[in-house]
């Protein structure tokens, strides 16, 4: 059985879901008597990473691949002598097309730098993009998270190797996703405050790429957006609106902590009302 003494968990999280997965993973490690160091990569210099026995990278999936801020961090890592790595993508749709190739670019970089990838597994969390999965599904995903992270840790410690199986079309879409990363810059530049803006500056302070500057008390958006939506969902007065792709923003916003605080209900597959063969098939498969 694998018994790593030094475990480092690195995450990037736009609106909180990926951070929640990372923290849950750390809690499950602690239950096994294993300590871990947690690093938020948006404020971390990867070149200064002290090589652990096991490095676990948590990242949301944007545009069919890991978030560009995650890929940039991976590129900045120092060379390694076979440090073991696990990658945990976090998505709202599950391990189905077009997400199956989301790790391949980071995987190639890690291999070139001498890291030893031993495990990949996708975690599904409530969707904050395009379509709201609904209260029932969101509750199920939050409820099952500890069990899923526990399974992952058991796999890793027992030496089970597991990887995402990238479909050929998804590999192509992941290449196109690099262009969508570029498109995110234009999405960010189109965001503007409406008349309810209170000039609090929270959006500027919390932007992971320093894309928002305060000018005369008003937020001004540049071209470094990565489409994390933290500013839009985090605005206390809902003052920020995109000029393009406004349909991807959930009408009622996205607040993970509120979802977690919702009253627990008895949940079962028989109660599920989402389409298990359509848009949410990856999620229903994950919950089985």
pLDDT in tens, 56-94: 999 999 878 999 999 999 999 999 999 999 999 999 988
Q: What is the pLDDT of residue 180?
A: 59
- CATH at residue 215: 3.30.70.20
56, part of any domain: yes
For the beta carbon of residue 85, count every other beta carbon within 10 angstroms.
26
Q: How would residue 183 be classed by pLDDT, with cut points 50, 70 and 90?
A: confident
Q: How would residue 279 be classed by pLDDT, with cut points 50, 70 and 90?
A: low
Residue 209 and residue 128 share a domain: no
The 3-class secondary structure across the chain, one letter per residue, is CCCCCCEEEEECCCCCHHHHHHHHHHHHHHHCCCCCEEEEHHHCCHHHCCCCCEEEEEEEEECCEECHHHHHHHHCCCCCCCCEEEEEEEECCCCCCCCCCCCHHHHHHHHHCCCEEEEECCEECCCCCCCCCCHHHHHHHHHHHHHHHHHHHHHHHCCCCECCCCCHHHHHHHHHHHHHHHHHHHHHHCCEECCCCCCCCHHHHHCCCCCEEEECCEEEECCCCCCCCHHHHHCCCCCEECCCCHHHCCCCCCCHHHHHHCCCCCCCHHHCCCCCCCCCHHHHHHHC
Residue 35 and residue 132 share a domain: yes
216, part of any domain: yes
Residue 189 and residue 122 share a domain: no
Residue 193 and residue 68 share a domain: no
Residue 123 and residue 20 share a domain: yes
| Last residue in a domain, options 105, 135, 169 | 169
Q: What is the pLDDT of residue 172?
A: 81
- Percent of the chain at pLDDT above 90? 73
231, part of any domain: yes
288, part of any domain: no
Q: String of b and e for 186-195 (b: at least 16 CB within 10 Å)?
A: ebbbebebee
| Last residue in a domain, options 169, 203, 236 | 169
Residue 196 and residue 67 share a domain: no
Write out the residue range of the structural domain in which residue 231 sits: 183-261
Q: What is the mean pLDDT of the chain?
A: 90
69, part of any domain: yes
Q: Which of 99, 10, 106, 12 is nearest to 57 (CA)?
A: 10
């Amino acid at each position: 059985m694998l018994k790593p003494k030094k475990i480092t968990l690195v995450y990037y999280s736009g609106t909180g879901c990926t951070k929640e997965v990372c923290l849950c993973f750390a809690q499950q490690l602690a239950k096994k008597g294993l300590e871990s160091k947690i690093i938020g990569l948006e404020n971390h210099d990867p070149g200064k990473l002290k090589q652990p026995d096991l490095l676990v990278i948590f990242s949301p999936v944007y545009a069919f691949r890991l978030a560009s801020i995650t890929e940039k961090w991976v590129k900045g890592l120092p060379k390694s002598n076979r440090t073991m790595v696990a990658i945990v993508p976090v998505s709202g749709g599950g391990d189905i097309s077009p997400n199956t190739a989301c790790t391949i670019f980071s995987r190639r970089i890690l291999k070139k730098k001498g890291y030893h990838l031993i495990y990949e597994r996708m975690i599904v969390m409530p969707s904050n993009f395009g379509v709201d999965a609904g209260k029932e599904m969101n509750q199920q995903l939050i409820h099952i998270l500890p069990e899923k992270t526990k399974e992952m840790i058991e796999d890793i410690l027992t030496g089970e190797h597991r990887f995402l199986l990238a479909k050929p079309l998804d590999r192509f879409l992941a290449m196109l996703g690099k262009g969508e990363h570029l498109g995110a810059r234009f999405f960010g530049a189109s965001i503007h405050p409406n008349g309810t803006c209170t000039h609090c500056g929270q959006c500027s302070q919390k932007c992971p790429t320093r894309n928002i500057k305060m000018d005369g008390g008003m937020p001004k958006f540049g071209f470094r957006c990565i489409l994390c939506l933290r500013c839009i969902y985090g605005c206390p007065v809902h003052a920020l609106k995109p000029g393009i792709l406004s349909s991807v923003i959930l009408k009622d916003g996205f607040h993970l902590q509120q979802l977690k605080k919702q009253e627990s209900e008895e949940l079962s597959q028989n109660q599920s009302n989402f389409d298990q063969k359509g848009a949410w098939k990856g999620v229903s498969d994950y919950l089985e």
